[in-house]
Structure 1
């Protein structure tokens, strides 16, 4: 599985929050509006950004299980959630949070999601969530997950899944070549088998519909401008590394592409909510 630093996750959190699709979020809120409590399983939880962004859509009492393969990221998540909350209490391995009207219980689990997802679903969550995760997984993983979520009777909410769309400002002739090479790198094995990459959103929609869920989807692109200078720069550096690893683009062309000063960027994502009928 790919590793992400806390610094990178911090850098993207605000852009992710702005990008979330409001119509899909409203569907999530409407689905659970009459419930008083909810059990949530968050896959690839990182530093806990998905809980911070999603909790406001959900009932007053929430029980979250945050799962990641990197225990250091989960330690950061605990610290950030404590800072985010109005009040907190630690009871053993459990974190109790108060945030406005919300009462949130959080547990943290280190797991290999390529192997342990079914075991996590055996605990019968009512909502399975993830953010910026499924493009790293394989079509087989998505197929198996959709069946398991359906068997558990749970709903599913995935945000910020990369869909392959990119646009850079100013445009340069090498942009399309760089994008194609980046897509090839995206589809390398990230620990789950050959990655779905930009095809992940369509696989999610198809598999949950095949399994009988009602699906709502919507675009959630990053629209980055001058105020997002640090994120744009980090994206460019990351893309250049990926393209260099995937090959197919001359090293001189990569350097030239990196040295263009970009004033804006559009990066496509898709949000998907699927629920039992």
Structure 2
């Protein structure tokens, strides 16, 4: 079985994309799945959140995109998370400029992943919050997009922009791309606004809306500063249990 490749994306920042990538990866690994996390954001937060020192990266996603390294040689292990990481740091910002002149520049990640697809069950791609060439590489490589979102009205506008982007990429480059699901993050079940936005999401997206919600949780917010997924930091925290439930829901959607 080849890996299921999921890009975690939202053109709005601060919605928990990286938190979702790191903790979903750790939760899938906890369920016995072989997982690769690809950090496509030059800030490298998924890298540090996985316990990998981004300043010590010799080969990472930057070298892979430029054809200077192969994925199998560039991945490192997240000991805390139990998954593999294709790491990123600030040098990745330069890839945008360097790839502009290249032929099929939006296909670089997809082509690089092909030799290792049998080595993993899931590949999770942490995309930058803007639609850059890096994000485009992630969406072209993926077969599905997971969208973390906060239940606010402005978030609904952002999600409609992303759906339009996914549709364009599906028509032009990647016919298999689709929305895997929408995850409500930083969720407050007592908020009337959260309930109203949820109703709108259910009306528009139906089964694509994950039933699992990720609550606001201090332990979830603290974990990255220790270089740990929440599962390794506090296995009993509400946020940790929510991501374990999200992993189970994703696995049940085959």
Same fold (TM over 0.5): no
Higher helix share: 2
Q: With a CA cutoff of 8 Å and minimum separation of 6, indicate the structure with the bigger relative contact order.
A: 2
Larger strand proportion of the pair: 1
Q: TM-score range by the shorter chain?
A: 0.3 to 0.5
Structure with greater Cα Rg: 1
TM-score (norm 2): 0.40
